[in-house]
Each structure stands twice: as C-alpha cells, then as structure tokens.
C-alpha cells in the first residue's frame, strides 16, 4: 500500500488574531461564524481532493497557539484491513522532514545565530566527513540545504525498509 502525506496550510488564518482575541479558547474560536465556515470549506476541499485524487488516506489538522483547532481523517489508514484514517493516523514523513529542517535553519539565520555560508564544522564539532575533492570547498549550511555539498546521496542505513 502506498502512503501519501498532504500538508494543508490554511490561509484563512491570516485574520485569526483579530477573531481569536474575542474568543477565550479554541472551542469558542471553532464556533465563530467565519472560522466555522472556513473549517467547513477546508473539510470539503480536503475530502474532495482525497476522493478525486484516489488518495487512500489523508489526515489533516490546524493548530493555533499550540491547540488543535480542527483535525479530520479521510479515507483509509490501511486498505487491507479497512481501518479508517483519523487525526491520530501515523504516516511516514519521508522527505517532508527536509522542509522542517530548512525552516528551522532559516529561523536560526534570522535570529543571527547562524550564517548560510558557515562551515558546518563550526556548529557540529563532531562532523568529520571530508570532501572527496580538495578543491570542492567547505561544506556549508547553504550547500547542505541546497543539496550541493558533495556528500553521498544515501547512507548504508536501511531506513527505507521496515514496518
């Protein structure tokens, strides 16, 4: 069975601070007419994409101030057993972790804690891989983020296998 992961970014939340200041908690926020309407639209959009795209299962959620505002599952977490997808279904993250890493690094850059042209050894004192070619230059944060560092593509660790 193939597993898909779709991340939904809800642009309607741009106006949320003005609405949320009047709400005491997430339940009140969910009941606000504009938010309730937006959540219904998102629900219909995700379900429509799951059906139209013949995606076996999707789990989606929106978090506001560390509280779950909305979450829903669509389709199946396991086609063989017929188990439904829900907000607690676990999916393989795969390459999506690169996005989380890049955003975190850029936040550190914005805070002045790292520079993109920093040699990686400046921040990872245990890093001891050497370039295959002497004239390749240092491995920098930027070269790691852009996949141009010259590091091997895959390791010998069997992370593509398993349950």
Sheet with 67-78: list strands edge to edge: 57-64, 67-78, 83-84
Is residue 140 within 8 A of residue 116, CB to CB? The reply is yes
Whole-model pTM above 0.75?
no
Q: What is the pLDDT of residue 159?
A: 57
Report the alpha-carbon distance of residue 142 to residue 144 in Å, rounded: 5
Residue among 135, 137, 95, 144 at smallest CA distance from 116: 144
Q: pLDDT (tens digit, 9 = 90+) per residue, 12-42?
A: 444 454 554 444 588 888 888 899 999 999 9
Question: In this predicted structure, which of 44-53, 68-77, 137-146 has the lowest mean pLDDT?
Answer: 137-146
Would you list the domain boundaries of the chain?
11-84, 96-145
Percent of the chain residues topping a pLDDT of 90: 47
Mapped onto helix, strand or coil, the DSSP state of residue 159 is coil
């Amino acid at each position: 069975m193939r597993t898909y992961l779709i991340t939904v970014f809800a642009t309607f939340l741009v106006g949320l601070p003005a609405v949320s200041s009047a709400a005491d908690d997430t339940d009140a926020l969910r009941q606000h007419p504009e938010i309730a309407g937006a959540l219904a639209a998102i629900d219909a959009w995700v379900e429509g994409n799951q059906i139209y795209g013949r995606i076996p299962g999707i789990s989606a959620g929106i978090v506001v101030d560390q509280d779950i505002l909305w979450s829903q599952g669509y389709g199946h977490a396991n086609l063989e057993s017929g188990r439904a997808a829900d907000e607690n279904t676990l999916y393989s993250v795969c390459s999506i972790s690169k996005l989380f890493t890049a955003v975190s690094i850029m936040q550190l850059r914005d805070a002045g804690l790292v520079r993109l042209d920093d040699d990686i050894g400046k921040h990872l004192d245990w890093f001891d891989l050497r370039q295959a070619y002497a004239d390749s230059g240092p491995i920098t944060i930027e070269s790691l983020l852009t996949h141009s560092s010259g590091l091997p593509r895959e390791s010998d660790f069997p992370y593509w296998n398993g349950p």
